[in-house]
Amino acid sequence: MKTKLFNVAGFPSVIGCIDGTHIPIQSPGGDNAELFRNRKGYFSINVQVVCDADLKIIDIVSRWPGSTHDSTIFNASFIRSQMTPVANPATAAEHRYNSHIKTRNIVERAIGVWKRRFPCLSLGLRTTINTTVSVIVATAILNNLAIIPYEHIDNVDDFGEAEDQAIEENPNALGNAVRNTIIDTYFN
């Protein structure tokens, strides 16, 4: 997978691209209804999506009201601890590292394919918030099933306990170390 994404724009060690998208909903009503009104004026769920080079959704966070900024969702996500942009780039290499727009374009295409495959994601959902969140995640799963044949689905129990423990102890350390190695190796 890293090779496919590297071939897009020469950005090494990338396994996924991240972006946010708004899924329109009806007003949920109640005291917190306005939290779901996004900056464009309609009610929505703000969904964070990570996809791979094949446009499969490999991570999804579908629970934030439409008024929530993408950076808030990212900062609260597990993905942030894995690989983060340089907060205050000081060198030319760090600036080049942060400007990976060509590679990121893949997630925009993935979201477009997903929303075209399931028009309810663009037209709006008229269900309760809990049902809406479930529908969003279910369509992401169905989207992936439409992309990959069944014989290529691997066992999801292949994650090692040791790796999980290392990440939990210091979630930013691993991501930051990888990021710094990539900057030093490829962008200097």
Beta bridge partners of 65: 45
C-beta separation of 14 from 6 below 8 A: yes
The CA distance from 76 to 70, in Å, is 10
Q: Is the pLDDT of residue 18 over 70?
A: yes
pLDDT of residue 2: 76
Show me where the domains of the chain are located: 2-187
Out of 1-10, 108-117, 118-127, 172-181, least confident range:
172-181
- Name the average pLDDT for the chain: 83
